[in-house]
Homo-oligomer: A and B are copies of this chain.
Amino acid sequence: MRRLINRQPDVVVRFGLMLIPFIAVVIAYMIASEARLSANPNDKLLPGWSTIAAAIERMAFLPDQRTGSYLLLQDTISSLTRLGIGVAVATLIGGIFGVLQGLIPYFRATFSAFTGVLSMIPPLAVLPILFIVFGLGELAKVVLVAVGIAPFIIRDLALRTEEIPHEEIIKAQTLGASTWQIILRIVVPQMLPRLIDGVRLSLGAAWLFLIAAEAIASDSGLGYRIFLMRRYLAMDVILPYVAWITLLAFTLDFALRLFQRIAFRWMYRGN
């Protein structure tokens, strides 16, 4: 009898095992849903598959009666736009501040304690301030996403920048590089893939802030729809929306990883 740690499932078994928890969840849902629906056929909490399917069709494939637009599409576009801009802004800020903070002692002395404190402030608590300063429009949502994740990205990137072997910086100087040239040719190119790592790590938080912002004031967006539907417990809409957000998050993460692999081949060549 080999030890458990030495036993490797083969491909088929692995696939089967992988499915188990998902199937278990589905079965558990079906049983619970069945039970509730038999007690109250109108129950909204755990709708049956057909109800969910109808809701999906309504939201995704039929134009809305009032506005004539496809709600899921419209919500997705709104949310992704906000998320995209917010993350892009945070990435830009994080990239610049992170590299400077990690590389230049004077800059680090000035800002590292400050970004440390900033990253500890729970952004949800200062939402009202953000709203007042940036208004209730698209700007505020983008800012919330950006403000929410930028301190993390800055700190993460500053750490990564500090991890660049001192030898490389010395070597660059012996090749005659100025500070600016070191940033431009040595640090930034090596930090770009790290920046993507940082962005990937903070995407979860970005979604969170986006949903929070959309829950507070909005007229479209995935978070808006979920919180609106919550008003009358329309789980048949909420559940597919949650699944959709999860899928989007997954896809985004995957796309970033793919981009990183393609754009920064030097990291993956060789071993």
| A contact set with B: CB distance below 8 Å | 3-9, 13-14, 17-18, 20-22, 45, 103-106, 109-114, 117, 119-129, 132, 152, 169, 173, 178-179, 182, 204-205, 207-208, 211-212, 215, 222-223, 226-227, 230, 233, 235, 238-239, 241-242, 245-246, 249-250, 253
Contact = CB atoms under 8 A, between A and B. Distances in A.
Nearest to A24: B114
Q: What 7 pairs across the A-B complex have the smallest Cβ distances?
A: A21-B114, A17-B110, A17-B109, A14-B109, A4-B179, A128-B230, A120-B249
Nearest to A222: B125
A13 B110 CA distance: 9
Contacts of A6: 173
B245 A129 contact: no
Contacts of A128: 226-227, 230, 233, 235, 238
Contacts of A126: 242
A238 B8 contact: no
A122 to B, nearest CB: 5
Given A22-B114, A109-B18, A3 B204 contact: no
A256 to B, nearest CB: 13
